[in-house]
Structure 1
């Protein structure tokens, strides 16, 4: 938490034409969260879950969507992949904004948040299902088993040009999921829009979640603790 000495000038009227100017110095303890509220935040994602999570954290923000070919970016490790994808999303949005390097030092900070998520099941990386058949195969595999969700968060300070990044990892253990529930979930269509077809918060999925080792918000696409940590670091740099 930063401490800043701020001068306070008090004018006091005395006898006759005399005025006594007293300058006092007071210590103001600046709350980083208060500073954060003064920053402009851009969420570089079309994910409704990420929007809801950022709103739950108490932030006001605008939304921009990066238009990138995610399939053209490949990495062997899940952590490397989600970081590369989040970085590519940030680069695409920065390019659209036409930002060139460092901005004026006294400008209010503008922070761009990008993220990506994949599911790892039996050592294989799963992204968004390409069809309902693949989504059904994904979800059926989770029944009575475990899925590992790996997510990244990248914060780009558009005012200074600095970038902070990190990864989050959670394990989700499931009870057996009846076939009729899986069919209803697939027919809903929402599984096609999420990594690995895994939507923890869906009312059809939630009753069959046994244990989450990690953070539910991380599974849903944006770890609150990691995001807050990186936001704080972005303002300090």
Structure 2
């Protein structure tokens, strides 16, 4: 890998995924408005935000910029990162015993050519039935305010789940690494 690769994210989880996979990256937090548009489907939202995050760092010359975004969807309702304790509890109560879809958008912008590839990955999660006590205890202990759907999969949050279905286990944590490798290879980056 000789081209500079930049992660357009403030997420320590995404950085860790790339680091563990052996990627030498830079990262910068993009400044974009992440407000969903009225009636915008979850899959469109994450693809739009992923693209905007990558494009926010397009001023970095001769680079490949990775943008990623994730939201949870339960019964047609989109869950982003909870603003506070009450919202986290409400999101988890709604997810209890239900199927939740994690929509993850991934963008790779080649700042040399202007080409931006954008993909959508889906992860289906079945939550265990959760009592109010379990939910409140989890929220108070983990403060999952930086995680969509109020669950940190990277830690004890995994115990709230019954089943996960995904083509890429990293999608669960917000960065579909298998798809990213495909996108990088299409830009001439040799992996491995």
TM-score (norm 1): 0.73
Structure 1 stretches of at least 4 aligned residues deviating more than 4 Å after TM superposition: 72-75
Other-structure match for 1:59:
23
Distance in 1 between residues matched to 2:38 and 2:45, nearest whole Å: 6
CA contact (8 A) 1:191 1:199 kept: yes
Q: Does 1:43 find its partner at 2:4? A: no
Give the secondary-structure state (helix, strand or coil) at the position aligned to 2:91.
helix
Give the secondary-structure state (helix, strand or coil) at the position aligned to 1:94.
coil
Q: Report the alpha carbon displacement of residue 42 of structure 1 after superposing the two structures with TM.
A: 0.4
Distance in 1 between residues matched to 2:38 and 2:20, nearest whole Å: 32
CA RMSD for the aligned pairs? 1.9
Other-structure match for 1:213:
165
Other-structure match for 1:81:
45
Q: Does 1:118 find its partner at 2:82? A: no
Larger Rg: 1
Give the secondary-structure state (helix, strand or coil) at the position aligned to 1:113.
strand
CA contact (8 A) 2:52 2:67 kept: no
Distance in 2 between residues matched to 1:222 and 1:39, nearest whole Å: 20
Q: Report the alpha carbon displacement of residue 73 of structure 1 after superposing the two structures with TM.
A: 5.0
CA contact (8 A) 2:36 2:45 kept: no
Q: Report the alpha carbon displacement of residue 94 of structure 1 after superposing the two structures with TM.
A: 1.6
Distance in 2 between residues matched to 1:153 and 1:72, nearest whole Å: 17
Structure 2's unaligned 5+ residue stretches are none
Q: Report the alpha carbon displacement of residue 74 of structure 1 after superposing the two structures with TM.
A: 5.3
Q: 1:1-237 maps to which residues of 2 (within 5 A)?
A: 37-71=1-35, 76-95=40-59, 97=60, 110-188=63-141, 190-203=143-156, 205-214=157-166, 215-235=168-188
CA contact (8 A) 2:7 2:67 kept: yes
Q: Report the alpha carbon displacement of residue 41 of structure 1 after superposing the two structures with TM.
A: 0.7
> CA 1:183–1:168 in structure 2 vs 1: closer, same or farther (change >3 Å)?
same
CA contact (8 A) 1:78 1:125 kept: yes
Q: Deviations along 1:48-91, whole A, 9 cap, x unmatched?
A: 11111111221010111111121165552111111111111122
TM-score (norm 2): 0.89
CA contact (8 A) 1:144 1:176 kept: yes
Distance in 2 between residues matched to 1:86 and 1:159, nearest whole Å: 19
Give the secondary-structure state (helix, strand or coil) at the position aligned to 1:125.
strand
